[in-house]
Structures are given as C-alpha cells and as structure tokens.
Amino acid sequence: MFKDILLVGVGSFVGGSLRMVISKYVQLAIAGSFPLGTMVVNVLGCFLIGIFASLPSDNGGISPAVRLLLTTGFCGGFTTFSTFMNENVGIIKGGDGLTTSALYVFASLALGFLAVLAGRQLVISLR
C-alpha cells in the first residue's frame, strides 16, 4: 500500500507540475479570457489516459504499478478530468450503459458547479 501511495504521489507531482507549465504557456501564447490552457490540458490528459489505460499488462506489457503511476498518479495530477472521462468509458464498457454514463456526467458537472458556487458564497458571507 505504501508503495502505491508513493507511486501516485510521484506521478501526481510530475503531472500537476506539467499541467501548470502547459496551461500557463498556452494561456500566455493565446490572447483572450477563454481558458484555453485548461482545455488543452484536459483534452491532452484524456488522450494520455486513453493510451495508458489501454496498454497491455500481459506478455511484456506494463505492470500494475506502472499503470497506477501513469493513470492515477500522472494523469490524476495532470487533470482529474481525464480520470472522470475514463470512468465514463468504463461505465459504458462495463455494461451499465449510456444512460448511467450521461447521469454521471450531468450530476458531476451540475453538483460540481453548485459546490463551487456554494463555497464561494460561504467565503463571501463570512467576510
């Protein structure tokens, strides 16, 4: 368990650091207020987790430890959006269907948005 925590921690550190660099670079290179840097990171993270989650684990493929480092660690630190999207693919592939996946997407986005608003309102009301 401790080894897994270290693998995820190292991957998260690298992924989070790279997220900051890429996001800032893209945002500085493109004028405007649209958060293109974050969008680029999210889409790139989805692409990478698709690759990492699909790599074979048998006959010379990657070990479960390397998969954990790359998916939960690196991609999780790079962007949790990639994990969110990968989980949706898993829901569909697992047989739970498009309806369950759509419900997960909608509920996550709606509740996440409301939670951000609630957190902001809490801070404003405490001032």
Evaluate the CA torsion angle 92, 63, 52, 41 in order and state its sign: positive
Q: What is the mean pLDDT of the segment spanning 88-110?
A: 91
Q: Is 79 annotated as a binding residue?
A: yes
Q: Is 76 annotated as a binding residue?
A: yes
Non-local CB neighbours of 58 within 8 Å, separated by 6+ positions: none
The total domain count for the chain is 1
The whole-number pLDDT of residue 92 equals 92
Residue 17, domain member (yes or no): yes
Determine the Cα–Cα distance for residues 87 and 80; give it in Å rounded to an integer.
11
Residue 26, domain member (yes or no): yes
- Closest by CA position to 42, among listed 69, 82, 75, 70: 82
Residue 121, domain member (yes or no): no
Q: What is the mean pLDDT of the segment spanning 50-66?
A: 89
Q: Which domain holds residue 10?
A: 2-79
Residue 84, domain member (yes or no): no
The whole-number pLDDT of residue 72 equals 94
Q: What token pair was written down for 64?
A: 């479960």
**How much is the pTM?**
0.78
pLDDT (tens digit per residue) in 63-94: 999 999 999 999 999 997 888 898 889 899 99
The whole-number pLDDT of residue 29 equals 92
Determine the Cα–Cα distance for residues 36 and 39; give it in Å rounded to an integer.
5
Residue 38: which pLDDT band, with cuts at 50, 70 and 90?
A: confident
The whole-number pLDDT of residue 65 equals 95
The whole-number pLDDT of residue 1 equals 93
CB pairs under 8 A, 24+ apart, for 59-64? none
Residue 19, domain member (yes or no): yes
Backbone angles phi, psi at 79, to 5 degrees: -170, 125
Residue 64, domain member (yes or no): yes
Q: What is the mean pLDDT of the segment spanning 94-117?
A: 92
pLDDT at 32 > cutoff 90: no
Non-local CB neighbours of 72 within 8 Å, separated by 6+ positions: 8, 11, 83
